Structure 1
C-alpha cells in the first residue's frame, strides 16, 4: 500500500523527456517537464529528531540542480520533482524543518555550500575522497555511469570500451563522467586508437538531445538518468554496455557540521525504516539505486 504522503501521482513524469522523443532543439537548455509533483510530500510528517541549526530558522535550504531526471527536474509548472527532490522534501520535516530548494549549477554546488547559501547539497554528488576533505556526507543513494547512443549508432559504440575511440562524446561539465572520458581518451591515445572529440554541456537534458540530433555520437551520464531517459524515447536513445563506476552519492554539509550531519543521518534512517524511501525511488524507476537500511 502506498504511503498517504504520496497522494500525488508522478506517473506523468514520463512527460519529462517529451522534448527528447520529439528531437527538440539542443539550443534550449530548459529542463524537461513533467506534469505533476509531490509538493505536499512531508507536510504531515512528524519530526523524529531535534531541529539542527540552519542558515534560516525553521528551514532546510537544499542546493540542487534541476536538469537531471529522474533525480531532480522541473514540472511543466516549474515545480521541483524527482527522486532526490522527494527524499529532501521528507528529510526536512523529519528534522522539524521545512524544505526549500536553492537551484545551483552543478559545478557551483560546493562553493555555494561553503558560502553558506544553503545548508546541504542533494544533487547526485558522488562521495569521493577529495570531496570528503572539504565537506561531510550522509549517503542516501547509489549511482553509476552509462553510455547512451542513438538507435542508429553510426559509430557502433558498444559501451565504455575502445569502441569509443574516434567518437564525439558528450558529458556534463564537472561530473564523474568527465573523469571517465579523460581516462578513455588516454587509453585510446596510448593504444593507437582514433582521437576522441568531446562536447561539454551544462545539463544532461541538452546532452541527450545532442545524441538524438547527431551533434555527438554518445553521451555519458548517470545510469539512473540514462535508463530513465532512454526508456521514454520509444527506442530513439539506447543504453549500451554495462553500468560502470558504481558509487554512493550523499547529502553534503559544511565540514565539521556534526549536528546537521547527525540529524540528516537519523532522519534518513527513519525514512528508510518506514518503507517510504524505497517507495519514492520505485516511482522514478530507481529502486536498484537504493542503499540498504541500517540494521
Structure 2
C-alpha cells in the first residue's frame, strides 16, 4: 500500500491557488495577472444606458452582464470601480484597475494609450425632440449653427467637433458643442430646449425611446455604423488580452454572448462573431 504524503495546513492555500490557475488555463489557455488575487477589478462609467447604468442602486446593463460572464470563465470575481469616463484610462495606467469595461469606442488616440479586445460593433444616431423646432434632418448641414449636446470625453464629442469644423470650413455657422457629464444629462438638455440635438449610440437611442416615449425621435440615418467598442487593458498586457479573447470565444460557442445581446434587445448586427 502506498502511503500518501501528509499535507500541512500551510500547503492548502498553495494547492488551492494551483487548482484555480489550472481552471483558468483550461478555460482560456492563459491565466491573466490581476491586481487583487481572485478578483477582476474593472473601471466603468455607469451613466451610459443600456451598457452600464444604475437601477435601484445597483449596477446593471449589457457590459455588466458581459463582465460577469467573463468572470465565470476566468474563475475571477468581477469588482466594479464606478468613476467618471475621463478618469478610466488614467486609472488603468495607474494600475488601480485590471481593465476598462465601459462601452469604450475604439479610436487611434485611445489605441495609443491602451490595448483593446473588441466585443461589439455599434452605430450612432442624431436625436431631436418630436417637434424638432430647429428642423434638424440628421448629421448634415442642418446642424450648422445649432447646439449639439454630447457626453464629455465620449466618441460623440469627437463627431460633433468634426461637424463643427466641417461647417466652419464651408463658411457656415459653427456647431455649438455642449459637453455634459452623462448621456442622461444630454437627453435632459435636449428635452429642456437647451440643446437642439444630441448624438448617442444606436442601442442608447433604442433605450431612450423605450423609456421616454413621445418625447424624442431620430433624425436622419445611422452614422459611423461599423464603430467597434472594446474592453481596454494596459498597453502590452498580452496575457490579459488573451484571457479575455479566450473567454469571449467560449461565450460565443456556448451561446452566452448571443443571450446577452438578446436580453438587452440589441440588433443582431452588433455581433462581431458569426
Quickly name the TM-score band, shorter chain normalised. 0.7 to 0.9
Listed as ranges, the matches of 1:1-295 within 5 Å are: 48-49=27-28, 51-76=31-56, 78-245=57-224, 246-293=226-273
In the other structure, the counterpart of 2:17 is: none
In the other structure, the counterpart of 2:12 is: none
Asked whether the 8 Å contact 2:126–2:138 carries over to 1, the reply is: yes
**Residue 188 (structure 1) shift:** 1.5
CA RMSD of aligned residues (A): 1.5
CA distance in 1, matches of 2:201, 2:85: 14
**Number of aligned residue pairs:** 248
Asked whether the 8 Å contact 1:51–1:96 carries over to 2, the reply is: no
Q: Deviations over 1:59-79 (max 9, x none)?
A: 001111111111100112x11
Q: Deviations over 1:52-108 (max 9, x none)?
A: 2200000001111111111100112x1110011100111012011011111121111
CA distance in 2, matches of 1:287, 1:191: 36
Structure whose alpha-carbon radius of gyration is higher = 2
Per the alignment, in what secondary structure is the counterpart of residue 109 of structure 1?
A: helix
Per the alignment, in what secondary structure is the counterpart of residue 124 of structure 1?
A: strand
CA distance in 2, matches of 1:264, 1:278: 17
CA distance in 1, matches of 2:237, 2:188: 40
Unpaired segments of 5 or more residues in structure 1? 1-45
TM-score by length of 1: 0.80
Q: Which has the higher helix share?
A: 2
Asked whether the 8 Å contact 2:31–2:239 carries over to 1, the reply is: no
Q: Deviations over 1:120-149 (max 9, x none)?
A: 101111122232222111111112221111
Per the alignment, in what secondary structure is the counterpart of residue 149 of structure 1?
A: strand
Asked whether the 8 Å contact 2:125–2:200 carries over to 1, the reply is: yes
Asked whether the 8 Å contact 2:121–2:272 carries over to 1, the reply is: no
CA distance in 2, matches of 1:273, 1:240: 37
